[in-house]
Amino acid sequence: MIAGARWRTVIFDLDGTLANTIPLIVASYQHAFRTVLGEEVDDRRARAWIGRPLLPALLEESPEHGHALDEEYRRWNLANTSRLIEQYPGVPGLLSALADAGVVTAVATSKRRLTARLALEGVGLDTAIDVVAALEDTSEHKPDPAPLLHAAKVLGVDPAECAYVGDAVVDLLAAKAAGMAAVAVSWGAGERPELVAAGPDHICDTVGELTAYLLGMGEGESAP
């Protein structure tokens, strides 16, 4: 056992946090808008939608064509998941180190459960962590705290004793609203200045830094 873990329960966002789905998501948005609307979407605009439920984001962009965009996005995304999804180096070791320390870990995501499981399988994490809060589980979604509170309820833990780790401002807002520690990572979709402005309890720039922070190591120490 590794003593000193800061929290006994750590809940993770999925996209851009545990798995590098960013190229897949951006390409899926670009394909859908190009196919349905004949419109080009730049990377920055597409990345800004990451972390939100898909259909509401698309309906906000195009009330008339949102459902068609959603259908085309999901079709192309599923067909290209295995080709475009990437593993973040160090994440399997992070989850292993937390498990060795007795920390309970789980995922709360805006993805549907099936696509979340496929993403975890695609980066070899499907046996390391479980999805306890997916799109289908709550009627409200990040930045609303409902998914995070649902995750805590499933795990049988007090939200105040949990940390939520994510790469987007909506993740940090949801964590704060749920009464959880808000831990930001800068390697995903969010822009670092915007993450800092959201006031996280801590921001990590590498997986090694996140591992050390969650395990309660002091500044300058390295994760195992």
CA distance 156 to 170: 24
Q: Residue 194's beta-bridge partner residues?
A: none
φ/ψ (deg, to 5) at 11: -105, 135
- 158 labelled catalytic: no
| 8 A C-beta contact, residue 163 and residue 180 | yes
The DSSP 8-state label assigned to residue 133 in this structure reads E
Catalytic member of 13, 137, 167, 171: 13
42's tokens: 């730049």
How many other CB atoms are there within 10 angstroms of residue 214's CB atom? 25
Which residues are the active-site residues? 13
